[in-house]
Amino acid sequence: MNQLDTINSIVMARLLTGKPSVSAKLERQHENIVCASGAESDAVRAPSGRLFAKGGLVADAFSIINGMSVILRKKGNAVPDMVGATYLQADDIDEIQKEFDERTDKLDQLKAQIRQQYASLVQAGQAHLGTLKNEIMYPTVDEFLDDFRFELKWLGQPAGIEGTVLGAVSRETAARVRAASQADAQSMLTEAHGRLVQTAIAEMGDVVTALTTGKRLRQERLDKLSRLADEIESKNWLKLPELHDTVTRLRELHVDASEIPLEDDRKQHAARIESAREDASKTLASLGL
């Protein structure tokens, strides 16, 4: 599949979410702190109290929403500068839509349970707050549930502007708009690929810190380099050769912690990782990022 075919097989999905607040400011406590300390009111943040006990139906509802974001992130590449938007391969649409539909059904069931049990959920939360409950005004059940939002929108492929949309535009202007649109679409998709490298650069930096500051070196930290290599390889839909180099270096850097037991061993390995980080930064530059 050539690069144009690849681009035409990519779609954008946008997950729109909203969740009700589960905490409230304790204004009276804030006043007490200010009076006791002599601090300026705006120099101290008001403490907050949790409306509901940890766990339970509300936490389950939040988990349904948050989990969908995780699935999209694992499957696709985040669209630059578009909150909640993800590039996905068309082959994954059915699976993603099915997952979203199932989660929507579960969320609706949980909201129905929250409605039925709202009074007891409030009472349980108040019991955990002790006398602080007198400072908190709970939302009504309708106000609380209305703040939930869970939508999945398919925005089409990240190709440039084509077709009849430019029918009413002069030929010269249409050509310029089409060229600029195609360049911008390509740039955004390339940037999405580049962000995978940015994540790898940050993680390599954390490993270098762990190796050189005497912190306990967990094997999971080193294993993450290998997992990042796998992710970059699987999400390099444009087959960018620059990303292949990063994948190769990450796999070379994945070692067993037992192979670098001494301080000198760790410093040497840290130097190798730092060199790979510099090369990865050059890769970003070569991609125009």
Note the pLDDT tens digit of each residue in 248-286: 999 999 999 889 988 899 999 999 999 999 999 998 888
Confidence label for 242 from pLDDT (cuts 50, 70 and 90): confident
pLDDT of the residue at 65: 97
Residue 19 has pLDDT above 90, yes or no: yes
pTM score, whole prediction: 0.74
DSSP 86: E
- Domain edges within the chain: 9-156, 165-286
Residue 89, pLDDT score: 86
The pLDDT assigned to 201 comes to 94
Q: Are 62 and 72 in contact (CB under 8 A)?
A: no
Q: What tens digit of pLDDT does each residue of 177-229 get?
A: 566 656 666 778 888 899 999 999 999 999 999 888 876 778 988 899 999 99
**Cα torsion through 91, 246, 15, 108, rounded to 10:** 80
Give me the pLDDT at residue 184, please: 64
What pLDDT is recorded for position 71? 96
CB proximity list for 156: less than 8 A, separation 6 or greater: 11, 12
